Amino acid sequence: MQLISEDKINDIRNSADIVSIVSDYIPLKMQGKNYFGVCPFHDDHSPSMSVSKERQLFKCFVCNKGGNVFTFVKDYENISYIEAVKKVADKVGIPLDYVPSTKSDSKYKLEYEIMDFTTKILQNNLNSKEGITAKEYLEKRNITDEIIRDFKMGYALNNNTYLYNVLTKKGYDINKLDDLGLITKDGIGGYDKFVNRIMIPICNLEGSVVGYTGRIFNNEDSAKYINTKETSIYKKGNILFNYHNAKNYIREARCAILVEGNMDAIRMYSSGVRNVLALMGTAMTKEQVEILKKLRVPIILMLDNDNAGELATVNIGNELIKNNVDTKVVRLSGAKDPDEYIVKYGVNAFNDIIKHSLNYFDYKLHYLKENKNLNNTEELINYVKSVLKMLDGADNLTKEITIKKLSEEHNLDYEILKQELTFDKIKEIKPVIPINSIGKDRYDKCVTKVLYYMMSDSKYLKIFNTKLGFLKNPEERNLIREIEYYIEKYGKINLADFISYGELDDNIRDLVNTISGSVNFEELEEKTFIEYLNAIKDILNREEIKKLKESLKKETDINKQVEISKKILDLKKGSVKNGRN
């Protein structure tokens, strides 16, 4: 799983105070022995996440997210485990000679190599004498050398075989180049897909180039933009343009601005608004929704000021709200897109409209009113029904505020509106547990506690082996073997270090993470641990007694009946000895 030694990872974790690291991301307040803050992993409105300085662990009491400092940084930043280790190492000043790998190390290594080499050629072209006109065009649009470098921008020469010749002479297969959308094959050989265009690389979430947008700059071509076709490494729906540049700025700004085109994103980025992402169109996929959801910040929709942009704002907003993403809207006035708005009105005016973004529900109310005569009874009824339908699935507070607005603005009876709208019951209804599953539920809870104790202190493994020594599920037994091996290797154990243990397979690691998120930071007491062991033994005994009784009913041999009866009696004595009847 990891390329950093276990000892190095433990050194980094032991040098990092989880309270200090988590405080860099969310405000924490001390209550008793622990610190509390609003959980960033679910829609939390009151502090439900606890951080233990003593245990160096965090846990949310609502969504059961939990783990150590690496787990928190990994999940908060939506990065790999090794990248999280590197970030924590940087924060505590421990040098780490490791560069996190990207998808270019995957089975598509050749494809990424070709795209990287092509990008360097295009960058060189922009800085050559042939690229002077393209470079001057960018300068006139206030695209500086710094922005050109950040976006790896380049130029495709006005020669339809230049790139073809360079890449094939390098030894790259013509079929591979065609598959990547760089050239188009013909009967003789091939010709370049992009000619005499400013080239804007499209990068995946890790920052590797996977495709291009080619933009005209001298009006000689009717197609303003040409984009790379979908390829083995470029899936348009899995990418948000500028994500790799913007993700850290998004964390700092505590919001992300979503626009349609990559030139809009580049214009905003060059103007200092760097928390911007682009869809490269008006459609949004479920994969892109997941990317935005994992950012855990409000999303400001700033799509083009036309009918298609407005419809996309509504559709994308609906999808984000459905996925519990805090969504806001800016509709541009006097300009067709963010690029044009900044050119016409300047950065200060642009920043001002961002500050005054509308809550999505307020925007949707305005949208539903458009082109309607609300003095007409039928149109008013249709409008009200549309609003109530919009609120389906919204939280109770949003429902309450919205129907009060409807009531006041249109002189409608509040109680009638409320009757039309189903409010969710605030009090949680606990599911009824069937009687025959109570034992399993109790067993699972006790096993979770027992495993938690054993991962927290090596002495509890010894007690377990002496007094019980067995759990019924294979994954539980596999975890115990890993605990034994870890203690044998290091001489001790604590949960914060064990969570980072690199030799766990994925199933066991999932179990460790589940346990760390499902227990409170309770004091470890030997007496309590033994009570959990006795409860498990009692449950296992009762299950075995039930099986033996079934066997006894079917057995016809008198001697075997006596033998089974004796086993049942011995197991019952064991249950009584544990203090259970």
Q: How far apart are CA 40 and CA 61, in angstroms?
A: 12
CA–CA distance from 144 to each of 118, 149, 218, 257 (Å)? 22, 9, 19, 22
Q: Shortest CA distance to 261 belongs to which of 275, 284, 283, 280? A: 280
Q: How far apart are CA 481 and CA 463, in angstroms?
A: 15
More confident: 241 or 372: 241
394, two tokens: 């919204």
428 pLDDT tier (thresholds 50, 70, 90): very low
**CB of 280 closer than 8 Å to CB of 260:** yes
Mean pLDDT for the stretch of residues 317-329:
89
**CB of 449 closer than 8 Å to CB of 532:** yes
Mean pLDDT for the stretch of residues 301-321:
90
Mean pLDDT, the chain, rounded, equals 85
Helix axes 459-467, 474-490, angle to 10 degrees: 130
HEC profile for 224-288?
A: CEEECCCCCCCCHHHCCECHHHHHHHHHHHCCEEEECCHHHHHHHHHCCCCCEEECCCCCCCHHH
pLDDT tops 90 at residue 329: yes
378 pLDDT tier (thresholds 50, 70, 90): confident
Residues 32-60 pLDDT 10s: 889 999 888 877 778 889 999 999 999 99
Q: How far apart are CA 381 and CA 551, in angstroms?
A: 69
**Lowest pLDDT segment from 95-99, 138-142, 428-432:** 428-432
**CB of 110 closer than 8 Å to CB of 163:** no
**CB of 296 closer than 8 Å to CB of 40:** yes
| Maximum Cα–Cα distance across the chain | 102
Q: Shortest CA distance to 421 belongs to which of 445, 442, 405? A: 405
- Percent helix, strand, coil in the chain (nearest 5)? 55, 10, 35
315, two tokens: 């559709």
DSSP 49-90: EEEETTTTEEEETTT--EE-HHHHHHHHHT--HHHHHHHHHH
Q: Provide the 8-state DSSP code for 440.
A: H
**CB of 212 closer than 8 Å to CB of 201:** yes
Helices and strands in the chain, H and E counts: 26, 16
1 pLDDT tier (thresholds 50, 70, 90): very low
CA–CA distance from 520 to each of 60, 64, 274, 430, 515 (Å)? 9, 10, 40, 20, 10
Number of residues written out for the chain? 581
Percent of residues, the chain, with pLDDT higher than 90: 41
Q: How far apart are CA 126 and CA 149, in angstroms?
A: 11
Q: Quote the pLDDT of residue 436.
A: 39
Percent of residues, the chain, with pLDDT higher than 70: 90
**CB of 486 closer than 8 Å to CB of 501:** yes
pLDDT tops 60 at residue 180: yes
Quickly tell me which residue has 């346990």 as its tokens: 515
More confident: 45 or 297: 297
Phi and psi at residue 73, to the nearest 5° = -65, -40
388, two tokens: 């109530």
More confident: 370 or 349: 349
Mean pLDDT for the stretch of residues 399-425:
80
Q: Quote the pLDDT of residue 455.
A: 92
Residues 460-486 pLDDT 10s: 999 999 988 888 888 888 999 999 999
Pairing label, strands 190-192, 197-203: unpaired
Helix axes 526-554, 558-577, angle to 10 degrees: 160
Q: How far apart are CA 269 and CA 472, in angstroms?
A: 57
304, two tokens: 């083009």
Q: Quote the pLDDT of residue 422.
A: 63
106 pLDDT tier (thresholds 50, 70, 90): low
Residues whose CB is less than 8 angstroms from the CB of residue 429 and which lie 6 or more positions away in sequence, other chains included: none
pTM of the predicted protein model: 0.66
Q: How far apart are CA 12 and CA 242, in angstroms?
A: 31
**Lowest pLDDT segment from 171-180, 458-467, 541-550:** 541-550
Q: How far apart are CA 531 and CA 85, in angstroms?
A: 37
CA atoms within 13 A on the CB side of 88: 32
Q: Shortest CA distance to 327 belongs to which of 258, 250, 238? A: 258
